[in-house]
């Protein structure tokens, strides 16, 4: 059992919890429960009622849409930058997506009613959660555009960068089959794309493990979709020491809102 001091130190690895002022944090701290999330664990299924909201600290969770024929595609990835279960405070109570653990690790969960009560206060907790929802919508929108217009090589680079941002190391434990399921493409396409990156000296791939050797090279090879998502996330949750946004959700200057396609190359 963690002590209150340990909860403070470890739970605040999550960007949203770290952003809360003392009063808001103290109201929810005792309700936070540490949980270990195993690789492949399903946190919630499509259409199921959500009993908890999850704040990952070292785990990464994929939000997947699963088709009637069993096919699936990732619509967003959530790590220590966010929260799993936005339907709870957006009024839906359930969602058509499935939440699956992509990288095992720790998270903190909060009972649904506690979260709803805090959100209803209309304080900084509400503001933080709504800002994150803005970032999540941007990621989902950009993923849809990327999957439609960009090559599998570019999609894989985007996926690798989004995953790396939520990990403490440059190593990813993931089979090509699972990556293919995340991207919603055939495994052969991922095998070829990973081979291209390895030949270029950007990654080293062994069965079930990817070591990123040259992140800058992957960023250069990636489409603009990763940068759009990263820029919007950093705008809504600036690095520590920078002022947090307090105004309504306005797009950055000279920015059309995030979803853009330039130099797109269709592959489907």
pLDDT for residue 33 is more than 90: yes
Average pLDDT, rounded, for the chain: 85
Alpha helices in the chain (DSSP H): 4-11, 15-18, 22-29, 87-90, 112-120, 124-149, 152-164, 176-183, 187-199, 215-221, 225-236
- Look at residue 247 and tell me whether its pLDDT is greater than 80: no
User: Per-residue pLDDT for 2 more than 70?
Assistant: no
- Joined tokens for residue 18: 């770290």
pLDDT for 215-240, tens place per residue?
A: 999 999 999 999 999 999 999 998 66
Which backbone phi and psi does 127 adopt, to 5 degrees? -65, -45
Options 2.40.50.140, 3.10.310.10, 1.10.3720.10, 2.60.120.10; CATH for 4-122 is: 2.60.120.10
Alpha-carbon span 226 to 203, nearest angstrom: 18
Burial class (CB in 10 A: 0-12, 13-18, 19+), 207: exposed
pTM of the full predicted structure? 0.82
pLDDT at 6: 60
State pLDDT tens for residues 142-174: 999 998 899 999 999 999 999 999 988 888 888
SS3 131: helix
């Amino acid at each position: 059992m963690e002590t209150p001091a340990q909860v403070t130190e470890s739970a605040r690895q999550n960007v949203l919890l770290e952003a809360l002022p003392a009063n808001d944090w103290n109201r929810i701290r005792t309700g936070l429960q540490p949980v270990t999330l195993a690789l492949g664990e399903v946190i919630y299924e499509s259409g199921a009622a959500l009993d908890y909201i999850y704040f990952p600290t070292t785990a990464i969770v994929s939000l997947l849409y699963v088709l009637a024929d069993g096919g699936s595609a990732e619509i967003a990835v959530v790590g220590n930058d966010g929260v799993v279960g936005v339907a709870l405070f957006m009024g839906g109570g359930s969602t058509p997506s499935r939440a699956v653990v992509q990288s095992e690790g720790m998270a903190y969960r909060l009972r649904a009613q506690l979260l709803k009560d805090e959100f209803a206060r209309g304080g900084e907790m509400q503001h933080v959660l709504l800002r994150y929802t803005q970032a999540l919508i941007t990621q989902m929108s950009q993923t849809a555009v990327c999957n439609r217009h960009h090559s599998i090589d570019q999609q894989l680079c985007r996926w690798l960068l989004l995953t790396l941002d939520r990990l403490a190391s440059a190593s990813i434990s993931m089979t090509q089959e699972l990556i293919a399921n995340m991207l919603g493409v055939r495994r052969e396409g991922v095998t070829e794309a990973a081979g291209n990156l390895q030949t270029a000296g950007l990654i080293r791939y062994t069965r079930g493990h990817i070591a990123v050797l040259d992140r800058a090279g992957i960023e250069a090879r990636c489409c603009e979709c990763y940068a759009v998502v990263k820029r919007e996330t950093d705008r809504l949750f600036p690095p520590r020491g920078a002022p947090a946004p307090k105004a309504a959700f306005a797009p950055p200057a000279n920015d059309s809102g995030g979803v853009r396609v330039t130099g797109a190359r269709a592959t489907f």
